[in-house]
Amino acid sequence: MDKHNPTRRPVTVADVARAAQVSKATAARALGGYGAVRADLKERILEAARRLDYRPNELARTMATGRSGTIGVIVGDIENPFFGLAVRGISDVAAQAGFDVILSNSGETLATEKASTEVFLAKRVDGLIVAPATRHDGSHLQDALGRACPLVLLDRDVPGLSVDVALVDDHKAAREATQLLLAAGHRRLAYITATAAADVHYRGPEQIPLTTVLNRIAGFLEASDIAGLAEAERQIRLDAAKTARSQTILLDLLRASGRPTALLASDSKIALEVFRAARALGLHIPGDLSLVSFDDADWTSAVSPLVSVVSQPSYELGAAAAQMLVARIMGDKAPPRRHILDTILIRRESVAPPRS
């Protein structure tokens, strides 16, 4: 059986109505599944729709109702397995609640994030989930709120913004990871993060655009402090996003006299760079250098040595964010919620006592 609608023009309710010999309104009711329609009429209408291969125009529906049945998600880097899993969490609960998800990548860039926000608002998404690229500018997010578009922050907070958030307890996570290293006997630790910064050295909180990193640094410093380590701030390195840059940073760090004997990597990409640098310097992990990394990336549990990681519940994080958003879309007026999830420290093989 071939096309019944050889013409270019798509089939509309009006067409179906005509074919079923009822009014446009009745056809629309039957097709849209609202209002009440006599059973036999409904049957006739549905039959006609089937015959004509009618497909509802979501756009028109959205225009008329104001609801699109779609939620927009903006993350920094979808290739990052952390966000990949989170998006799956979001999609699953969204689908269950009858919402579609459309995705956008900010590339960790504020400008792109703003543009994406704009696009989503213009497309009239019913709600927004975003992992903001910076805590320093939330004007576009405020804007979404102002336009009555529910918003939930994922993974990263924007202080001053009064919205639901789904976060991880990064402070505690970093503290525990650091203490794992400390407990093994290390006294010279360093923390490496990919977060963009003008200077690779840590000068203070203002410099840091991500609340996650801010909290992790705080946790790292707190643990160092408790252990009585002096000047732990000096062992923090920023801006290790690209391979070349991280290699410079790591090689620099690991070639210095009094080099760190243990590293805390802020994400699995950096852990990989640590592997690379260690290789280049002939340093053995964990013999010469201990390592703990954030994110339980797939390769960390397959290569030698298996790497000890801070596993983040990213799927649950996404699911929680979506749950809150759906509730808001449904009209939930409660004060903003803060959903904070715990991480799990997975001990594997990349931590050993310092050799000295």
Interface with DNA (CB under 7 A), residue total 30
Choice from 41, 46, 97, 103 touching a copy of itself (CB under 8 A): 103
Cα separations in angstroms, 198 against 79, 112, 195, 215, 238: 24, 20, 10, 19, 9
CA 267 to chain centre: 13
Residue 93 CB, nearest approach to DNA (Å): 24
Nearest residue (CB) to a copy of itself, 34 versus 43: 34
Residue 104 CB, nearest approach to DNA (Å): 22
Residue 350 binds a copy of itself (CB under 8 A) = no
Structure tokens at 354: 């310092």
Residue 272 binds a copy of itself (CB under 8 A) = yes
Nearest residue (CB) to a copy of itself, 105 versus 248: 105
Question: Which option in DNA, a copy of itself, none does residue 32 bind, with CB closer than 5 to 8 A by kind?
Answer: DNA
Measure the CA–CA gap between 146 and 336, rounded to whole angstroms: 15
Residue 245 binds DNA (CB under 7 A) = no
Question: Which option in a copy of itself, DNA, none does residue 275 bind, with CB closer than 5 to 8 A by kind?
Answer: a copy of itself
Measure the CA–CA gap between 346 and 207, rounded to whole angstroms: 30
Structure tokens at 14: 């009006």
Choice from 25, 59, 330, 344 touching a copy of itself (CB under 8 A): 59
Buried-state track 179-217, b at ≥16 Cβ within 10 A, e below 16:
bbbbebebeebbbbbbbbbeebebeeeebbbbbbbbbbb
Task: Sketch the per residue contact string, 38 through 77, with DNA: x for CB under 7 A, - otherwise.
Answer: x--xx-----------xxxx--xx-xxx------------
Q: What is the DSSP annotation of 138-164? A: -HHHHHHHHTT--EEEESS--TT--SE
Of 304, 302, 300, nearest in space to 346 by CA: 300
Site for DNA, rule CB under 7 A: 9-10, 12-14, 22-26, 28-29, 31-32, 34-38, 41-42, 54-57, 60-61, 63-65
